[in-house]
Amino acid sequence: MEYINIEFNEYADKLFEQLQKGVFMTTKKQDKVNTMTISWGGISFIWNKPVFISYVRYTRDTYQMVENTNEFTINIPLNKDLRKELGFCGSKSGRDYDKIKECNFNLHDSRVVNTPILADCEMHYECKVIYKQAMEPGNILNEVKERFYSTNNFHVIYYGEIVDSYIIKGEK
């Protein structure tokens, strides 16, 4: 497998195109690895650091895992059709399913963080949480709250410093 280092924003257009369809946010706590589909988030630059901003609901298994490790990987399929896997990982809980096994994902060690990458995806961000913020329900427009938070299942917003970014090619 060949690693091609990229700047965090070098493929921003590809990231945002795929993000609308979904990308995988992967977490690891002890021996358990979980991944979930996210379609809200993006890259930015704050405090002189490149960051990936991700939204995770309190009810997700991923929330507990990030809270315990303060890191995650973002795995972006560029050329592979992973719609089925994105659908499964976006609708099933890691508490009930081993999504890595169910989707037949190949894990590979990350280069900086302890959370692995999904080698089935081509582009990867390795992230360490540098800030998190619970959504303030009173600050959300009513029309947004009614549409996305009718059950009061709000998000925590994670700012993960992108400590490594690359594309992988070749055998997994």
Domain count, the chain: 1
Q: Residue 34: which domain range?
A: 2-169
Measured CA to CA, the distance from residue 112 to residue 115 in angstroms comes to 9
pLDDT of 1 reads 84
Number of CB atoms found within 10 A of residue 47's CB = 9
Closest among 136, 107, 111 to 125, alpha carbons compared: 111
Contact 61, 72 (CB under 8 A): no
pLDDT of 171 higher than 70: no
Distances (CA, A) of 13 to 20, 66, 125, 148: 11, 27, 15, 26
Read off the CATH number of the domain in which 149 is found. Answer: 2.30.110.10
What pTM does this model have?
0.95
Q: Any idea how long the chain is? A: 172
pLDDT of 172 higher than 60: no
pLDDT tens for 28-68 read 999 999 999 999 999 999 999 999 999 999 999 999 999 99
pLDDT of 3 higher than 70: yes
pLDDT tens for 86-117 read 999 999 999 999 999 999 999 999 999 999 99
Distances (CA, A) of 66 to 49, 91, 133: 20, 19, 13
